[in-house]
Structure 1
Amino acid sequence: MSVSTEELARPGVGGGLAEVFRTRFLLKLLVRKELKVRYRGSVLGLLWSYVKPGVQFIVFYIALGVFLGLENSPRNPGGLPNYAIYLFSGIVLINFFNEALGNASRSIVNNGGLIKKIYLPRELFPVASVWVSAVHFFPQLVILVGACLYAGWHPSFLQLAAALGGFAIVGLLATGLGLLFGAVNVYFRDSENFVDMLLMVATWASPVMYAWTMVADKLGEFWFTVYQFNPITVGVESFHYAFWLPTTDGSAPLPPNLLSVWMPVALLVSAGILLIGQLTFRRLEGRFAQEL
């Protein structure tokens, strides 16, 4: 009896991110499992989502805002007004990206035992890592909104939409890079070290702790344009526009064409990286079980 080759499929290869959506009940289970495993035996549990960024904020605020004079004050009238909100609005977004990419890049190797025993869409593991990071992002966002309200926050609909767009940009970027490095890490474990360096660079290669005007003044128009092609830069500035700017007198300048040009560009770049990550993942996933 002959078998048509059209009925055959390469083993170990799933249907991509579309299959993750179809099996979203498994995604929920993986997210719950990751949260339970992470905080097993922990005294503070989910409260670490508050403690870690809080300590990080205090350190950077004292070092940059007070010692280096980035905070606007009577002694330093040229600093940023409400620098604490400016700083924290960038920290919550960059922390989400760092945690999502760091965990997604290790997710396949860390779940090697499960992958070798049963088949399920392998994209579930990097995507679940991004969702877990989103769960940790939410408490930080609540604190940010509370601080903004205390400072007189009155955002417009456009500013809230910019915040959602900035989060989407960073989420797509983290998912795409997580798929890419999660697959490559199975074959080359050195990629974990590369991701760690990438995360360190990402924190300082976007205007989380400093103003974008400082970059424009130092680099000039051409290199500042290159700087804006970084989707994280656009995401962070979108958060500043949504959360920090409404707490000031509104006179602070925005990066040129932030919403009209750079946000669509950043969405396209992040979507392109997501596509590259998915294609690379599908090409490499067939031998995950053997390599692990």
Structure 2
Amino acid sequence: MTEPAEQQGSTGSTVVRRSTPEELEALPLVAPSSAGLREVVRRRYLLRMLVRNTIQSRYQGTVLGWVWSYIQPAIRFCLFYFLFQVMIGRGGDEMENFAVHLFSGMVIVHFFTETFNGGTQSLIQNRSLITKLPVPREMFPVSRMLVAAWHTVPMLLILVFVCVLLGWRPDLVGLAAAILGVLLTALLGLSLGLVFSVANVFMRDFGKVAQTLTQFVTFSVPMMYPFTMVQDRFGEPIASYYLFNPMAEAVLLIQRGFWTGTTTDPSATEAVHLPDHLFTRGLIMTGIAMVCVVLAQRLFARLESRVPERL
């Protein structure tokens, strides 16, 4: 489409003509908005619109719509319950309610992988908006984190429902641990999403790298196996290094909030199956994750001016 341009006629009247394609190509791209995450918060109405459109596009053409967000995780929980507790026999006296142990970890892992992978692809998938609108480009990875959170809420509600059926006894420390685990996951996923989103514009291999890394996350956290197995198989020194993984810490935090409260003796379960200083270590890692978000945003701001031309 050509833009109209004004030109002064010989009689003093204004003549409107159409710009040529060559003139349009010579125009500069939209100037980037580099105000960072604060500008994203200031333009939250645009953020809400972007999140809503992303969610609607995922369920476009379906009859049940957002109900699938509840059906799929519910079926997944039933499958894992049948496989691990009925078929394999996990969840006895030594590992009570193992299906809850597994599913609570799955909630956090799903939130992280959706945030990380979605954030990595966010700039490329919104190239038409980036090259035309002067919006803060950090908005796209942030919107993917919020979309991931929206899809994680049904899994969390199903987890709470199952825990209540099993006699869940929540406590303030456990709820604070679960909230801390979710916050740690959000900050970590957002920082990686910011870095990988802009890196993926310059080299598309980073999208494949992100997918590969998220595959390792599933097996590098105490979800399908208890943390005590790491201690028993590899000893205390290796187990201490294992806890440097922030996603393992996030999974243990949410298990402290939900799984331990469904067991017969929550205090004994925590003492046996969870490491010491869990909450303190979670606070430290959350602080580090906040610093990572700041550093990731600065790197993003340095490179974003070259994003439109690479897209």
Instruction: Please give the TM-score of this superposition, normalised by the length of structure 1.
Output: 0.90
- Distance between the aligned counterparts of 1:272 and 1:208, measured in 2? 27
Q: Which amino acid aligns with 2:217?
A: A
- Distance between the aligned counterparts of 1:161 and 1:177, measured in 2? 24
Deviation at 1:219, TM superposition (A): 2.4
Q: Which amino acid aligns with 1:27?
A: L
Aligned residue for 1:117, secondary structure, equals coil
Instruction: Spell out, residue by residue over 1:46-74, the C-alpha distance to the aligned partner (whole angstroms, 9 max, x if none).
Output: 122223333433444444444444321xx
Greater displacement, 11-20 / 49-58: 49-58
Aligned partner of 1:25 among 45, 48, 52: 45
Q: Write the mapping of 1:266-281 to structure 2, written as runs, cut at 5 A.
A: 266-281=285-300
Between the aligned residues of both structures, percent identity stands at: 38
Deviation at 1:160, TM superposition (A): 0.8
Instruction: Spell out, residue by residue over 1:168-198, the C-alpha distance to the aligned partner (whole angstroms, 9 max, x if none).
Output: 0001111111111111111111111111111
Partner of 1:257: 277
Instruction: Please give the TM-score of this superposition, normalised by the length of structure 2.
Output: 0.84
Give the structure, 1 or 2, with the largest relative contact order (CA under 8 Å, sep 6 or more). 1
Count how many residue pairs are aligned between Structure 1 and Structure 2: 277
1:230 aligns with 2:245: yes
Partner of 1:114: 129
Contact 1:53 1:91 in 2 (8 A): no
Q: Which amino acid aligns with 1:103?
A: G
Structure with larger Rg:
2
- Distance between the aligned counterparts of 1:284 and 1:25, measured in 2? 25
Aligned residue for 2:259, secondary structure, equals helix
Partner of 2:7: none
Partner of 2:36: 16
Unaligned 5+ segments in structure 2 are 1-29
Partner of 2:308: 289
Instruction: Spell out, residue by residue over 1:130-184, the C-alpha distance to the aligned partner (whole angstroms, 9 max, x if none).
Output: 1011111111111111111111111111111111111100011111111111111
Contact 1:104 1:179 in 2 (8 A): yes
Contact 1:12 1:287 in 2 (8 A): no
Contact 1:64 1:70 in 2 (8 A): yes
Aligned partner of 2:203 among 163, 177, 188: 188
Deviation at 1:42, TM superposition (A): 2.0
Q: Which amino acid aligns with 1:51?
A: I
Query: Which structure 1 residue ranges, 4+ long, deviate > 6 Å from structure 2?
Result: none
Contact 1:229 1:265 in 2 (8 A): no
Contact 1:70 1:210 in 2 (8 A): no
- Distance between the aligned counterparts of 2:82 and 2:299, measured in 1? 42
Partner of 1:57: 77
Aligned partner of 1:88 among 103, 112, 115: 103
Aligned partner of 1:46 among 60, 63, 66: 66
Aligned residue for 2:131, secondary structure, equals helix
- Distance between the aligned counterparts of 2:195 and 2:262, measured in 1? 38
Q: CA RMSD in A?
A: 1.7
CA 1:66 to 1:194, structure 2 compared with 1: closer, same or farther past 3 Å? Answer: farther
Aligned residue for 1:209, secondary structure, equals coil
- Distance between the aligned counterparts of 1:273 and 1:53, measured in 2? 31
